[in-house]
Structure formats: structure tokens, C-alpha cells
Structure 1
Amino acid sequence: MRQLLAPATAGSLLLLLSGGAASQDATPKLPPGTPQGYLTAADYPDSLALLPPPPAPDSPAFARDEAVSKAMARAPGSPRFVQAASDADLGLAHATQTFTCASGIAPDPKTTPVLYKLLLKSMIDVGLSTYKAKNHYQRTRPFVAHGNATCFPKDEAALRKDGSYPSGHSAVGWGWALILTEIVSHHADAILARGRDFGESRLVCNAHWASDVDAGRVIAAATVARLHAVPDFRSDLLKAKAEAMRAPLVPDGKCTADAAALRG
């Protein structure tokens, strides 16, 4: 497992992929040492075929994007803004805890190694599946269009070069939510709600438009459907279910604070 978690995966998936995104390849190449997902590039869903073009600047759909962007803005330092900044961090050790409160499981490479591997490999698959459309449209992000900041400044330089549509973060969050509902089905509603909130964090963060987030969820669902055709994924899913039944309980204190932040 230690070999699986290559140094490149310790940082944001976005930063991991930004070199490939800048090259305008349909699908960015992962740096050497980064583990392969369950899918090959040929197996990724065609995001360009599955999605309509992003809203045109003078369209009612873009007017909705602008209205939602304004409605979702939160003051820096507010609980919801802080939560959005936390959700922006796709460093693996941090991001895998996103659904801890919703699922009741804290993924860990020692106590739940297969689940941890499953989250890593599916993150790579879902994230890369967004790039054919991302690189084709190269949509400008709201913080660039408006000339202001995001909730996660250290990603901004890479985000400026990374197409906004569809949202990779939202795709990863929704993909994980769909997978985790199969592993911990008795917490399905809470997990899906957290997946929804994870996507909405991209709006609070000023990193994406609402239509980017919606499109990210479409690609997530398409990718997870593809994953179910892969024997290794199905095998790991069953093993992860067994791990989840033995996993330590999650303390309630942090979950109460997180729930309050998401309501803000």
C-alpha cells in the first residue's frame, strides 16, 4: 500500500493533472510513479459527447450561473467558506475523510487499505474522465471572469490554466458518493447529501459555475457505471464492504461541527 501511494498523489488531483491539461491533450498523462486507476484511457466515458457545450455568455443558462454564483458567495472566514476551502483540498489523506461523518467510516491505509485504494483509483478515473470536455471548451472560471479570489489560493495558478467545465472536484465528490452508498448502504442518504454539498463547495469557493458542477456529476455517474464493468473494481468493492463492517466508529464531536458548517 505504501508503494501504491506515490508522492504525486499526496497533492491535489488538479495540480497532479495540470501539466497534461495545459498541453491540450484530450486526456492528461499521469506523472511517473502515479498509480493507474481501474480504467484505461480507452475506457473513459466521452465527456465531450455526453455533455452539451457550456452556457453561452448571453444565454439564460449563463444568467443562472451568474445568479447562483452570487447567491452562493460567503464571507471569508465564515463556517461555510472554511468548509469549502477544506473541500477544495484533494490531497489524498485529507480528501478521503470527506465522507467520514456521512458514512461513519474514516478511511485509512492501515485499517481500511482496500477502501483507501478504491478511493484513490476511482478518483483518478473520475478526474481524468472530465478532461476531454475540459480541454475542448477551456471555459473561464468565475474567479478569473470576475477578477477576484477563490477560497483556496494555492490552487489558483493551476486553475487559471484548467478548464472550468465540467468540474473535476464535483465529479470526484459525486463519484465517491455513489461508490460509498454501495459500501455503506444504510447511510446512503447522508452520503449523497454530502456529495451534493461537496459540489456546492465549488460554488462557495468561486472556483466553478453551477453548470460546471452539474456537468461534473454527469461524468461521475458515467464513470462509475464504467467501473462496474471492471472485475478488479467489483472485487475491491466487495472487500471494501467487508472492511467497512470492521472499521472503528467515528467520534461525534467533529461531525456536529461539520454539519453546522454545511448548513451555513
Structure 2
Amino acid sequence: MSKTETVVRAAHISLLALLAFCGQAQAGDAQPKVSDPHFKIAPGYLEQSDLPNSLVLLGPPPEADTAALARDEEMRKATIPLRDTGRWKLASADADLAFPQAADNFSCAMGVKIDSQQTPRLYAMMQKMLSDFGLSTYGVKNKYNRIRPFVVHNEATCRADQEAILRHDGSYPSGHTAAGWGWALVFAQINPERADALLKRGIEFGQSRVICNAHWQSDVDAGRIMGAATVARLQTDPTFLADLKAAEAEMKAAKAKRTSQMPDCAAEAAALSGQ
């Protein structure tokens, strides 16, 4: 699948998610089993009962001997030449959802460094939204507990330090992708002048999970659905909307000053272009 096809598919998936979002809660109000500590960094905006229901929005992962699983394998094989390249290194950085790295991952696309000094409201929003995006995926994650590609093929990922957790955390859907795509959608609201760059970075953030050998392509596709559905739900939350307005003002001020040192945007651009 070409990059253009991937972009079009991602946009289509997100549109379907926004249209299909029904606001139903995950089955029951009990907190799901959450293996990834990244999704516990800060309390989210939404109560468990207010999260979009992955059990309603998503079907099961691809089964054996299906065209969908064959596509997953083809997409995995297509990324093998990228291992140990600049794109592999970027995928490793994208895998780190801890802060400040998670904010740095989107600073180049934003055109402004996202940090706790220059953009404190946005920085805190990212952490709160991360919990919402991650938790939205665990209904289906826990139901199917899909095995990750690096385990199936007895290979490594781009982050050896995370593999122990990933082995026991369901692959479908991708929580990292839900976060990356959800962040990108919100960032595009905050900084519409950079919307295309931000949405493209959000798409590549998800593709990093396939390149990292941590997720199948169908995991990433489903993660985008949950990220978009969660953003749709956040648009009705008063606290989120107040923070969104404050972040917009904060971003305008930051663009006028541009006092913080940016990450290495040239290296990121080169990695994303395949150079």
C-alpha cells in the first residue's frame, strides 16, 4: 500500500469513527485491566462510563487464513528494510509516550516546541488525553488479547525495554496509535494553520507501530478509530473545551515568541521522507 493510500485510508477510517461514535460506555463501569503504564500518567478527562465503547465500534482482529491477515503480513514485510534506519529510530522515539518525549514527537509538526514552560496548558492536556485514548482501547484489547507480530515471528522491536510489557498487552487495537491520532486531531483544532502537517504526523505516528514491529496494520487502523471516537466524545466535555480554548491562546502567544529550542526537525523530516 502506498503512502497516499495509507493517508486516504486513515482519513476514511477516522471519518467513519466520528460518524459512528455513539457515546456508549465500555461494557460495565469497572476499570479495565491496563497493562501499559503510559496510560496511567495522569487522570483523563472522561470517566470510564463516558469513554467510547471499542466493543461496539470495532469487530474482532483478522482471523487466520483471511485476506485481512495476509495484508497485515504484507505490511509487516514491507517495513523490514526500514529497520536500523532513521525511520526505525523515529519509530523508537514515537514508542515513548512518557513526557517530555511524547510532546517533542509533535513539536516539529506543531511548529512550536510543546513543553511545560512555553505551553503548560497544552502539555498537561496531552497527558490527560493520553489516558482517555489509551483506556478507550482496552475493551477489545482484553477481550481478544491478540499476539503481537514480534512475538509471532520471534523477532525484536525498536524498543527492547518495552517488550516485556508488550508480550502481555493485547496488540489489537493500538493504544499508541489512538493517542497519536487523537492528539493530531486536537492539535489541528488548536493550530489550524499547521493542520496538514499535524495530521500527517499523526498518521506516521501510527505507522511507527508497524515499523517498530510492535503492532499489525489492522491494530493501527483500529487504533485510529478509537482515537477519533475519543476526540468526538471530548468535544462535549466542558473541562476539555475550557482547556482547548486556553491552549489556543497559549499557542498564539508561543508562536509569537518562539523562545524554546526545537527538537531536530531536519532529522525528523529526513526520516519521514525516507532519506
Aligned AA for 2:270? A
Match of 1:6 in 2: none
- In the other structure, the counterpart of 2:32 is 26
Indicate the percent of aligned positions where both proteins have the same amino acid: 50
1 CA distance for matches of 2:183 and 2:263? 23
Q: 1:262 aligned to 247, 253, 272, which one?
A: 272
Output the CA distance in 2 between the equivalents of 1:119 and 1:253: 18
Tell me the amino acid that sits aligned with residue 107 of structure 1.
I
Aligned AA (2:227): A
Q: 1:98 aligns with which of 90, 97, 105?
A: 105
Distance 1:76 1:61, change over 3 A: closer
SS in 2 for 1:109: coil
| Partner Cα separation in structure 2 for residue 253 and residue 169 of structure 1 | 21
Question: Is the CA contact 1:114–1:239 (under 8 Å) kept in the aligned structure 2?
Answer: yes
Deviations 1:55-114 (A, max 9, x none): 001100000000000001235431111111111111121111111111112111122111
Checking the alignment, whether the CA contact within 8 Å between 2:55 and 2:140 is kept in structure 1 is: yes
User: 1:26-65, aligned counterparts within 5 Å?
Assistant: 26=32, 28=34, 35-65=42-72
Partner AA of 2:78 in structure 1: A
In the aligned structure 1, how far is the partner of 2:32 from the partner of 2:124?
26
The offset of 1:26, in angstroms, is 3.2
- TM-score calculated relative to the size of structure 2: 0.83
The equivalent residue for 1:215 is: 222
Residue 239 (structure 1) aligns with: 246
Could you say what secondary structure the match of 2:194 adopts? helix
Determine the structure 1 residue equivalent to 2:117: 110
Output aligned runs, 1:167-178, within 5 Å: 167-178=174-185
Which residue number corresponds to residue 87 of structure 1? 94
Q: TM-score, normalised by structure 1?
A: 0.86
Segments of 5+ residues of structure 2 without an aligned counterpart are 1-29
* CA-CA distance at 1:162 after TM superposition: 0.2
Equivalent residue number for residue 74 of structure 1: 81
Gaps of 5+ in 1: 1-23
Aligned with 2:43: secondary structure?
coil
Task: Summarize the Cα distance change of 1:157–1:27 in structure 2 as closer, same or farther, 3 Å threshold.
Answer: closer
1:131-179 Cα offsets, whole Å, 9 max, x none, are 1110001000000000010000000000000000000111100000000
1:253, 1:117 → 2: CA distance? Answer: 19
Q: Cα deviations across residues 183-223 of structure 1 (Å, max 9, x unaligned)?
A: 00010000000001000100110000000000000000000
Give the Cα separation in 2 of the matches to 1:127 and 1:45.
Answer: 11
Take 1:100 and 1:108, find their aligned partners in 2: how far apart are those partners? 9
2:165 counterpart residue number: 158
